[in-house]
């Protein structure tokens, strides 16, 4: 009777059938209630398909072992959960259909063994995408301008599921915004106010497109602007208090009692510079240096033109005739021919181109050379200027 009672305590619990979604994960339940004096010795998961049985998973004193390559890295059993021998299958495929058997063997303290089994039928199906729902990153759909938020489109069904975001209403005119599951804004603007909805679709069946309900996003106020830090923003000019002939400005950050004293407050010390930085010099102050520069440039150009004009004037060559050249010319004009001297009366005319030497009866006639005459006339300067 005691042995039958122990068997009742170690009964396995499971389900008869599990529908798994293609490309998703599913769990095949196999649990029991641990009993004192009984230790789990071996856990085995088998699959039967096409009239053949194969061991998928085995756990014993040496550890966990996956014996079928098609389930490698896709199946696992919890380790730190006593009494839980459920099998987790990830990324279900159509060939995963079949009968799965969970077998647990316990060892009793008197070294006797007890074996229990539970069988589950697994059916892998492709499920069309369901109607998506919209989830906001924060509660409510009213945000201030400049805030950051996002909307997420969620649908179930066989993956892969594609998503699209639109601005508008389903069945009406809409603007495509994104082809991702999430629609995000880094900085909301008032113009982002409007209605939005999403679509979900997978490749199951005819690929029907599922549309969500439209949600309305509201953005209020203007974008938040950063206030200028002290000393960098615009300041109000302090009031003028007359002092002598020139007005003086009194700092506005002085105590009220000091401002009330007027002239005395200014005479105690120089005012504190709290106004804006000094303005740039007016444009006319730059006109004088510019005019001086233009004048200097004009003078330089005029000097260059004058120098160029002087170089363009005609060049003269001066030829010098020495005394030896003159004597040579004088020698060339002498004529050795002799002429007879005849006594003539006062009426006899002497040729203009000869002269008579009266030293002897037979005088030598010397004929004048025109070139020599011209050279003698130019003896005053002894230079001849010839233009090139």
**Quick check: is 283 in a domain?**
no
Residues 61 and 143 in one domain: no
User: Given 180, 204, 220, which residue is the final one in a domain?
Assistant: 220
Alpha carbon distance 186, 147 (integer Å):
7
Residue 240 covered by a domain: no
| Relative orientation angle of helices 323-332 and 370-377, to the nearest 10 degrees | 150
Residue 196 lies in a domain: yes
Domain containing 330 equals 317-340+353-387
Quote the longest CA-to-CA distance of the chain.
Answer: 205
Express each pLDDT in 345-380 by its tens digit. Answer: 434 444 444 444 444 444 444 455 566 566 556 554
> Among candidates 182, 185, 180, 175, which has minimal Cα distance to 218?
185
pLDDT tens, position by position, 119-167: 999 999 988 899 999 999 888 899 999 999 999 999 988 888 999 999 9
Beta carbons within 8 Å of 64's beta carbon, 6+ residues apart:
57, 58, 77, 79
CATH of residue 29's domain is 2.60.40.10
Q: Assess if residue 64 is contained within a domain.
A: yes
Report, as an integer, the average pLDDT of 37-63. 93
Residues 91 and 139 occupy one common structural domain: no
User: Can you tell me which residue has the tokens 């991702």?
Assistant: 180
Answer whether residue 253 is part of any domain. Answer: no
Q: What is the CA radius of gyration of the chain?
A: 63
Which among 174, 202, 220 is the end of a domain?
Answer: 220
Clarify whether residues 140 and 211 are in a common domain: yes
Question: Which of 84, 107, 105 minimizes the C-alpha distance to 37?
Answer: 107
Residues 46 and 75 in one domain: yes
Alpha-carbon span 200 to 131, nearest angstrom: 7
Residues 141 and 114 sit within 8 Å (Cβ to Cβ) = no
Considering the domain architecture, whether residues 97 and 49 belong to the same structural domain is answered as yes
Give me the number of domains the chain comprises.
Answer: 3
Domain boundary, last residue among 125, 150, 166: 125
Q: Which residues, at least 6 apart from 253, have a Cβ–Cβ distance to it below 8 Å?
A: 272, 274
207 and 154, same structural domain?
yes
Q: What is the pTM of this model?
A: 0.46
């Amino acid at each position: 009777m005691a042995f039958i009672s122990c068997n009742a305590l170690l009964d396995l619990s499971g389900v008869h059938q599990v529908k798994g979604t293609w490309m998703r994960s599913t769990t095949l339940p196999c649990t029991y209630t641990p009993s004192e004096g009984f230790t789990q010795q071996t856990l085995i998961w088998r699959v039967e398909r096409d009239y053949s049985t194969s061991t998928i998973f085995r756990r014993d004193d040496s550890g966990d072992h996956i014996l079928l390559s098609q389930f490698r890295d896709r199946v696992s059993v919890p380790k730190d959960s006593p009494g839980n021998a459920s099998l987790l299958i990830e990324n279900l495929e159509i060939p995963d259909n079949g009968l799965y058997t969970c077998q647990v063997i316990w060892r009793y303290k008197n070294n006797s063994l007890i074996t229990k089994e539970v069988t589950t039928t697994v059916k892998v199906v492709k499920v069309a995408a369901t109607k998506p729902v919209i989830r906001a990153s924060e509660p409510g759909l009213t945000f201030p301008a400049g805030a950051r938020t996002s909307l997420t489109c969620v649908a179930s069904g066989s993956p892969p599921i594609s998503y699209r975001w639109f601005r508008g209403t389903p069945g009406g005119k809409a603007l495509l915004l994104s082809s991702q599951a999430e629609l995000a804004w880094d900085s909301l603007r008032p113009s982002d106010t409007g209605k939005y909805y999403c679509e979900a679709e997978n490749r199951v069946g005819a690929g029907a497109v599922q549309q969500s309900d439209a949600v309305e996003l509201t953005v209020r106020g203007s974008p938040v602007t950063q206030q200028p830090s002290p000393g960098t923003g615009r300041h109000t000019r302090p009031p003028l208090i007359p002092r002598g002939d020139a007005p003086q400005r009194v700092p506005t950050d002085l105590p009220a009692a000091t401002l009330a004293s007027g002239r005395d407050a200014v005479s105690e010390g120089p005012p504190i510079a709290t106004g804006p930085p000094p303005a740039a010099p007016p444009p006319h102050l730059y006109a004088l240096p510019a005019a001086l520069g233009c004048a200097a440039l004009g003078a330089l150009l005029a000097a260059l033109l004058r120098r160029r004009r002087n170089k363009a004037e005609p060049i003269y060559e001066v030829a010098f005739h020495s005394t030896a050249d003159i004597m040579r010319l004088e020698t060339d004009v002498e004529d050795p021919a002799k002429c007879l001297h005849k006594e003539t009366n006062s009426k006899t005319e002497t040729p203009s181109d000869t002269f008579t030497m009266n030293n002897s009866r037979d005088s030598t006639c010397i004929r004048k050379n025109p070139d020599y005459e011209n050279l003698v006339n130019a003896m005053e300067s002894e230079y001849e200027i010839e233009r090139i």
